[in-house]
Amino acid sequence: NPLTAAAIAAEAGVDDVLAEATPEKKLARIRHEQNDGRLVAMCGDGANDAPALAQADVGMAMNDGTQAAREAANMVDLDSDPTKLLDVVQIGKELPLTR
């Protein structure tokens, strides 16, 4: 939902958001942002989200989503609440990043 995505992004201080895109557009956008040196977080629940979840620097799958999404993501939100991405972003800002 574009309105939900925009609200979460605004609260998290995120520069840009993409919602209701095809799997190919999600993956292309993530790669584009990463090529520009940005860190990308992705939240998804379907098998079609799996490639983008795997590509993102932070991939969060919903527990009530597909097995493919849960396996591709870095973490699974057991409550299936996409607003928890706000907490993930905040915690991430407080931790040193190692690659």
pLDDT computed for residue 41 by the predictor:
87
pLDDT computed for residue 24 by the predictor:
96
Closest by CA to 42, choosing from 13, 82, 95, 94, is 82
Q: What is the CATH number that goes with domain 20-79?
A: 3.40.50.1000
Residue 16 dihedral angles phi and psi, to the nearest 5°: -150, 160
Q: Enumerate the domain spans of the chain.
A: 20-79
pLDDT computed for residue 99 by the predictor:
64
CB 55 within 8 A of CB 39: no
Task: Tell me which residues of the chain have a pLDDT lower than 70.
Answer: 97-99
pTM of the model: 0.80
pLDDT computed for residue 97 by the predictor:
67
pLDDT computed for residue 83 by the predictor:
80
